[in-house]
Amino acid sequence: MPTTERPAVPHAGYLDRLMRRQSFQALWPLFAHATKPAKEMTESFSALVHLRPHFPSVQPFRVVHVGDGAHARTGALFALKTRAQNVSIDPELNLSLVSNWQQTYGVERFTFHRSRIEDAYDVLDSLPPMPQVVSFVHAHVDVDAVLARLDWHAAFTLACCVPGRQLTRSHLIADDGEDFGVLSDERRYQVLVNARASLREAP
């Protein structure tokens, strides 16, 4: 009797994994402010899952979170879950709320800027040089235009509204598809790698 492949369906695997970790207590105050916290949390966790295999082998390295929202949730999650230096950038970022959260939970390796990414390039350029990874989890920007201006090793982007801008049209795609652990109607993602960066790091 022929077998049929089961269709992919949304699942709560990411949320289950997060809720079993001690870090969930620290993350919840930020995600609780969201209209759809499960959506926001699984989107951020998807970035971590898909980017982790592409983290630079050298330490330290930085993750720049472009358009990270008012509560810098993806940067906060990465700061708790990785050893990376994390920088969240968003023009609507609530500096008081995120600063109080960081102080309350003693979160390190996490800075944030209330700015458009287009106005933050000088800030990023002034940071100590190290390999950079970029996340575009919620960003309403032209991914290709931003990556053209940054020095980067790998990037993750999730198309929530405007795939023509939020998905690459020119960079090397290491992985893409729909992530059914993301509890959102839009869950198409890409993992991009910078071929030029790889050449620079090769012996």
Residue 1 lies in a domain: no
pLDDT of 128 over the 50 cut: yes
Q: Which residue in this structure is represented by tokens 């000088």?
A: 122
Residue 185 lies in a domain: yes
In which band, very low, low, confident or very high, does the pLDDT at 174 lie, cut at 50, 70 and 90? very high
Q: pLDDT tens for residues 185-196? A: 889 999 999 987
Cβ neighbours of residue 91 closer than 8 Å, sequence gap 6 or more: 114, 115, 116
Cβ neighbours of residue 80 closer than 8 Å, sequence gap 6 or more: 23, 26, 27, 107
The answer to whether residues 55 and 61 touch, using CB atoms and an 8 Å cutoff, is yes
Residue 58 lies in a domain: yes
Residue 6 lies in a domain: no
Residue 21 lies in a domain: yes
The count of structural domains within the chain is 1
Residue 194 lies in a domain: yes
Q: Determine the Cα–Cα distance for residues 103 and 100; give it in Å rounded to an integer.
A: 5
Shortest CA distance to 46 belongs to which of 125, 144, 136? 136
3-state DSSP call for residue 24? helix
Q: What is the CATH number of the domain that holds 160?
A: 3.40.50.150
Q: Is the dihedral of CA 122, 45, 70, 137 positive or negative?
A: positive
In which band, very low, low, confident or very high, does the pLDDT at 200 lie, cut at 50, 70 and 90? very low
Its domain, for residue 154, covers: 13-201
Residue 168 lies in a domain: yes
pTM recorded for the entire structure: 0.92
Residue 4 lies in a domain: no
